Amino acid sequence: MPDGMIPNVLSIAGVDPSGGAGLLADLKTFSALRAYGTGVVAALTAQNTRVVTGVQPVPVAFIAQQLDTLFADVRIDAVKLGMLGDAEVVATVAAALRRHGVRRLVVDPVMISKSGHPLLSPDAVAALRREILPLAEIITPNLPEAEVLLGCAPIRTLADMRVAARSLLQLGPRIVLLKGGHLEGAESTDVIDDGARQIELPAARIVTKNTHGTGCTLSAAIAALLPQHADPIDAIRAAKAYLTAAIAASGELTVGSGHGPVHHFHNFWPPARS
């Protein structure tokens, strides 16, 4: 897109009332990374930093109406998909993405909350694999999500990650970012695979319980940065650097008693005085 133009980025996701994950976290991330955020609500949740107590679907006809009304007026430069919930929602969103010719699509295959609550029904996993992944420019699964998408054995090593990333590429996305945060060790290493190369992205592991919404934030950051970088790999690198800093600064916030959020505005808010 032209230099200096602020990109318009869309999140299609669920709402987390605590603000650490989902649509609210995505909008914070877009704003922090110089993108104008728009949002379509795909699901409602009752949750905090400790637990999800309920999920309320949004009628698919209204999801389609939200999307069609938005695209009729607003130029959308990139789209991020988060929690979709069930197979009917997945199919509805996929049809809208095709209808409106979306090309810059980042898919975070949200399947389970940080507190362990399932957020994607089993039939929706098949629909996601069939309907959404072939449309994606980038997908950002963590290791448990990759295991579900591939139906494979547990991914336990960096070598396993390399094999899994290449297998995920066969499902249709143009680029895979396989997140390695579930592996043990002093570093958290992700693997990028674009079919021509595999790139490792190591980062020092930060010891903190404030990891609520890290996957949402990373995928949103990539979507915000894609229109601002000529090379998608550069957008991914910059997004990971942003997330790492947001995790490192998360202790400045006091939100809830469970898995707290990352600090989306760490670059803009001065540290709190002690």
The residue annotated as part of the active site, out of 29, 37, 216, 217, is 216
Query: How far is 220 from 168, CA to CA, in rounded Å?
Result: 20
The residue annotated as part of the active site, out of 29, 38, 92, 214, is 214
| Residues contacting 117, CB < 8 A, separation 6+ | 47, 51, 52, 55
Q: Which two tokens stand for residue 52?
A: 């999800």
Tell me which DSSP letter residue 199 carries: E
The residue annotated as part of the active site, out of 37, 180, 213, 260, is 213
214 catalytic? Reply is yes
State which H helix or E strand residue 264 sits in. Answer: none
179 catalytic? Reply is yes
The residue annotated as part of the active site, out of 152, 172, 189, 211, is 211
Q: Which two tokens stand for residue 184?
A: 């043990």
189 catalytic? Reply is no
211 catalytic? Reply is yes
Query: How far is 32 from 255, CA to CA, in rounded Å?
Result: 19
The residue annotated as part of the active site, out of 28, 179, 180, 217, is 179
213 catalytic? Reply is yes
Going by C-alpha positions, the residue among 156, 145, 10, 162 that lies closest to residue 71 is: 10
| Residues contacting 22, CB < 8 A, separation 6+ | 13, 14, 15, 16, 45, 82, 83, 213, 216
Query: Using an 8 Å Cβ cutoff, are 45 and 17 in contact?
Result: yes
140 catalytic? Reply is no
Query: What is the residue type of 18?
Result: S
The residue annotated as part of the active site, out of 215, 240, 244, 260, is 215
Q: Which two tokens stand for residue 3?
A: 């230099």
Q: Which residues are catalytic?
A: 179, 211, 213-216
